[in-house]
Amino acid sequence: MKPRKKSQELHARASRVIPGGVDSPVRAFKSVGGEPPYIVRGKGSRIWDADGNDYIDYVGSWGPLILGHAFPSVVEAVEKANRDGASFGACTPAEAELAEAVIEAFPSMDKVRFVSSGTEATMSAIRLARAFTRRNYIIKFEGCYHGHADSLLVKAGSGVATLGIPGSAGVLDEQAKFTLALPFNNQQAVEEVFHRFKNEIACVIVEPVVGNMGCVAPRKGYLEFLRSITEQQGAVLILDEVMTGFRLSFGGAQELFNIKPDLTTLGKIIGGGLPVGAYGGRAELMDMIAPLGPVYQAGTLSGNPLAMAAGLATLRELKQHPEIYRQLEQHSAALVDGVLDAAKKKGVALTANRVGSMFTWFFQPGTVHDWDTAAKSDTQAFGKFHGAMLEHGIYLPPSQYEAMFMSAAHSESDIQQTIAAATGAL
Ligand SMILES: *Cc1c(COP(=O)(O)O)cnc(C)c1O
Q: What is the dihedral of CA 299, 300, 301, 302, to 10 degrees?
A: 30
Q: Which of 70, 69, 11 is nearest to 38 (CA)?
A: 11
The residue whose CB lies within 8 Å of the most ligand 1 atoms, and thus the one to mutate among 59, 124, 215, 243, is 243
Do strands 236-240 and 263-267 pair parallel, antiparallel, or not at all (unpaired)?
parallel
CB-based pocket (< 6 A), ligand 1: 117-119, 122, 145-147, 207, 211-212, 240, 242-243, 267, 277
Other residues' Cβ atoms within 10 Å of the Cβ of residue 344: 12
pLDDT of residue 415: 98
pLDDT of residue 165: 53
Report the alpha-carbon distance of residue 424 to residue 161 in Å, rounded.
Answer: 28
pTM above threshold 0.75: yes
- Residue 183 in contact with residue 142, Cβ under 8 Å? yes
Domain ranges of the chain: 5-60+322-425, 72-320
pLDDT of residue 163: 54
- Residue 214 in contact with residue 402, Cβ under 8 Å? yes
Q: Which residues of the chain fall below pLDDT 70?
A: 157-166
Other residues' Cβ atoms within 10 Å of the Cβ of residue 231: 13
Q: Is 370 marked active-site?
A: no
Task: Give Cα separations from 377 to 31, 185, 227, 372, 380 (angstroms).
Answer: 13, 18, 31, 10, 9
At the top level of CATH, the class of 5-60+322-425 is: alpha beta
Reported as type and span, the H/E element at residue 239 is strand 236-240
Report the alpha-carbon distance of residue 388 to residue 406 in Å, rounded.
Answer: 20
Q: Is 173 marked active-site?
A: no
- How many CA atoms does the CB half-sphere of 5 hold within 13 Å? 2
Select which of 58, 137, 145, 395 is catalytic.
145
**325 Cα–ligand 1 center, Å:** 22
pLDDT of residue 168: 81
- CATH number belonging to the domain at 72-320, selected among 3.30.2130.10, 3.40.640.10, 3.40.630.10, 3.40.50.300: 3.40.640.10
- Residue 141 in contact with residue 206, Cβ under 8 Å? yes
